[in-house]
Amino acid sequence: MEGLRGFAVFLVFLTHYASMVAPWVAGSSATLQLAFGLRAFGHAGVDLFFVLSGYLIYGSLMQHPQPFLRFMRRRVVRIYPSFLAVFIAYVMLSFAFPAQSRIPEPATAAALYLLQNLLLLPGLFPIEAMITVAWSLSYEMFFYLAVPTVIGALGLRSRSRRWRLVFLLALAGALALHGALAGGPVRLMMFVAGMLLYEAMVPPRPVPPVTGRMGLLALLVGLGSMLLPVEGSRVLQTLQVCILFVAWPLLCLACFQWPSARLPRSFSWTPLRWLGNMSYSYYLLHGLVLHAGFLLLAWVWPPAAQGAWLFWSALPVLFVLTLGPTAMLFLLVERPLSLVPKRASVPALQAGPGQPLRQERAGASPTERRSD
């Protein structure tokens, strides 16, 4: 689970790196195309976060009912300390560098814009996010509000597994149809994919094991779908999400059911797990650090046709540069203020013949980690 988070947030890093490095590789068509491809792959990272969040939050609520207000209080405590730290940093930098600011100039408009961002409205609503990646937090918050309401209103805990599966598939189909015909937040489907992933894992009748080869194929197909020319086409955008709707849960199943196999072991690589542990802090802050890194690079090498050598040389250097400030945010804010210790162990989910998988009690998205 930690490694999957680390992989997802590294994909997000690739999106922003590939976007910012483009002026330095514009003279090399092959390298520029590679940058565009990596940028496209990176967008799938957020969708993987959504799947993991759907799996863990839905599973936690299905196994451990809790009052709505208590649940939401924990979600707010989980999201806001790190978000507020980065939000304040962005506001201060906006005043220090007004040419780069996204805050409108009239005082009333500025106050409204800051309030909208503080309430995590950009994303589901047509509002530009001051923190670029924070658009996904509005999706997360909507899911947090919706899932306990749906579970309680429809009595999902007392329903049969088949009833829940039919309902979730129908919900995903409705979201896909609406996305294809009218647009809108079709990526909410990925939370439903995570909920279906939980239903596939829950005993006593988990789905048949997904092999490592199937998981690897799902990984390749999911990333490959990001190369579809979806710009301006609601149908293709929805098709892309539908492919990820299948691919990412299959990847997770392959890892969860056989954790000792080669594919899940690759996601258990210690540095990747470390990155996954601080994925929320990294997700929020890495774009700002990366922007500062490219400003420094522009001072050393002004944007010009540097070619592939700079693309590959700058990538590891700038990635390492992002680790320091994001680790400080994690250690100084996220871990002490948001990650409360577990109060009790959570029953294991059967992950395959003789191979249990412990379920965590909080989400695994960039807005979630292992404790609620």
For 109-124, how does the pLDDT look when each residue is reduced to its tens digit (9 = 90+)?
A: 999 999 999 999 999 9
Q: Is the pLDDT of residue 97 over 80?
A: yes
* Rounded CA separation 126/138 (Å): 11
Question: Is 37 inside a domain boundary?
Answer: yes
Which three-class secondary structure state does DSSP give residue 196?
helix
Question: Is 247 inside a domain boundary?
Answer: yes
Judged by average pLDDT, the poorest of 47-61, 84-98, 171-185, 349-363 is 349-363
**Burial track 51-68 (b if 16+ CB lie within 10 A, e otherwise):** bbbbbbbbbbbbeeeeee
Question: Is 188 inside a domain boundary?
Answer: yes
Exposed, middle or buried by CB within 10 Å (0-12, 13-18, 19+), for 205?
A: exposed
Of 94, 62, 123, the closest CA to residue 366 belongs to: 123
**What pLDDT does 348 receive?**
39
Average pLDDT over residues 24-39: 83
* Rounded CA separation 140/248 (Å): 18
* Rounded CA separation 84/329 (Å): 11
What's the pLDDT tens digit per position in 149-193?
Answer: 999 999 999 999 999 999 999 999 999 999 999 988 999 999 999
Question: Is 364 inside a domain boundary?
Answer: no
What's the pLDDT tens digit per position in 293-347?
Answer: 999 998 888 887 677 788 888 999 999 999 999 999 999 999 999 986 555 444 4
For the chain, the domain total comes to 1
**What pLDDT does 24 receive?**
86
Length of the chain: 372
Confidence category of residue 290, pLDDT binned at 50, 70, 90 = very high
Q: Which residues contact 39 (CB under 8 A, 6 or more apart)?
A: 14, 15, 18, 19
**What pLDDT does 340 receive?**
64
Full DSSP string of 198-215: HHHH-SSSPPPPPPHHHH
57 sits in which H/E element: helix 44-63
Q: Is the pLDDT of residue 357 over 70?
A: no
Confidence category of residue 362, pLDDT binned at 50, 70, 90 = very low
Judged by average pLDDT, the poorest of 24-28, 104-108, 317-321 is 24-28
Confidence category of residue 202, pLDDT binned at 50, 70, 90 = confident
What's the pLDDT tens digit per position in 210-255?
Answer: 888 899 999 999 999 999 998 889 999 999 999 999 999 999 999 9
Question: Is 369 inside a domain boundary?
Answer: no
**What pLDDT does 305 receive?**
67
Beta bridge partners of 349: 357
| Angle between helical axes of 279-300 and 308-329 (0-180°, round to 10) | 140
Confidence category of residue 359, pLDDT binned at 50, 70, 90 = very low
Average pLDDT, the chain: 88
Q: Which residues contact 309 (CB under 8 A, 6 or more apart)?
A: none
Q: What's the DSSP call for residue 342? A: P
C-alpha separations of 300 from 95, 165, 295, 297 in Å: 26, 56, 9, 5
272 sits in which H/E element: helix 270-277
Q: Which tokens in the block code for residue 180?
A: 């294809």
* Rounded CA separation 322/319 (Å): 5
Contact 190, 232 (CB under 8 A): no
Question: Is 366 inside a domain boundary?
Answer: no
48 sits in which H/E element: helix 44-63
Q: How far is CA 363 from the centre of its chain?
A: 11
Domain extent, residue 196, equals 2-358
φ, ψ dihedrals at 357, nearest 5°? -125, 125
Which three-class secondary structure state does DSSP give residue 356?
strand
| Angular region, 350: left φ>0, alpha ψ -120 to 50, beta rest | beta
Question: Is 293 inside a domain boundary?
Answer: yes
Q: Is the pLDDT of residue 291 over 60?
A: yes
